[in-house]
Amino acid sequence: MIETKNLTKRFDRLTAVNKLNLKIEEGEIFGLLGPNGAGKTTTLSMLATLVIPTEGHATVAGFDVRKQPSAVRHSIGFVFQDPSSDDMLTGRENLYLHALMYGVDMKNINQKMDDVLKLVDLTERQHERMKKYSGGMRRRLELARGLLHEPKILFLDEPTLGLDPQTREHLWTYIKKLSQEKKVTVIITTHYMDEADSLCDRVAIIDRGKIAALDTPQKLKDRLGGDVVRLKVNNKPRLDGIKKLKYVKNVKQEGGFVTMTVDDSGRHLQEILKRIGIVESVETRKPTLNDVFLHFTGSEMREEGGEGGYFERMMHSNQGGR
């Protein structure tokens, strides 16, 4: 459904996306992960025809993003990071306005609105104004709106940001249902690693405009190998000897804690404790997707790239000319 070949975007001297190569299949839930400013939003913007690539090619639903932008836009739907529906309109009125903007067949418009409202469990609240909706209800209506014109591909930009755990779980259920029952291809950006782990068939970790890793969440976790061991050390840890051990990888020190990946930690932990110094506490666990993310992108703070609001502004400006 989506294929890119050496897709590149430069802004003056900044290369935001650098020779990106992706293949995303029909019905796949694909996660796009990365630090702030890594190039996620620029990638989405190019796939949505909002930003013209500097180099390379991309097809979306079989249409070339450069040569067939209108066909691409009719094939995709969006759920933005921030709700963009009108608070003074009811839920159903917001859907109706969206249907007019996307040229939905007027003969079927009421049935389509009924269907998407049922899908996100908002049928009983459809005639209430948006300003009375909770955060979770707003996200569900945004999802319904993005599906109203029956897109083949749905882009979700931080869809559960700021929601409570219960509402997040419900939205995950809706997204999985779209993929499994309606074969909608879903591309999701998120900073919640548990969300990507639970939802995505595959994830791509993007850093500084390039793909640092791409695979299923489980295979990425398996790639780290071993167990994650976190030690609270009271004195200055003796790390030189630890780093030379063949079964120890990825040794990092942060404050009074030392974190490392250890093959067969049950067998080797005692040797590590003898070598490292005075240890106050020990924690061992299997690698998570968060460990994978930090492994490939580092742990340093990144400045906000300012991509999120830019993407939404571009989408609104282009809707006006549809």
pLDDT in tens, 48-87: 998 999 999 999 999 999 999 999 998 998 887 777 789 9
For 9-47, the pLDDT digits (tens) are 999 889 999 999 999 999 999 999 999 889 998 999 999
- Give the sign of the dihedral formed by CA 214, CA 219, CA 220, CA 225: negative
- The CATH code of domain 2-75+151-220+302-319 reads 3.40.50.300
**CATH fold of the domain at 226-286:** Alpha-Beta Plaits (3.30.70)
Strand, helix or coil at 155?
Answer: strand
Q: What is the pLDDT of residue 249?
A: 87
CA dihedral 191, 15, 45, 215 (to 10 degrees): -50
Burial 201-227 (b: 16+ CB within 10 A, else e): ebbbbbbbbebbbbeebeebbeebebb
Answer for the pair 167, 175: CB distance below 8 angstroms, yes or no.
Answer: no
Neighbours of 27 (CB within 10 A): 17
pTM: 0.81
How far is residue 156 from each of residues 78, 134, 299, measured CA to CA in Å? 6, 19, 25
Confirm if 82 and 160 have CB atoms less than 8 A apart: no
For the chain, give every residue range classified as CATH 3.40.50.300.
2-75+151-220+302-319
Structure tokens at 149: 């014109």
Tell me the pLDDT tens digit for each residue of 177-234. 889 988 999 999 998 999 999 999 999 999 999 999 999 999 999 888 889 999 999 8
Boundaries of CATH 3.30.70 in the chain? 226-286
Per-residue tokens: 192: 């919640």
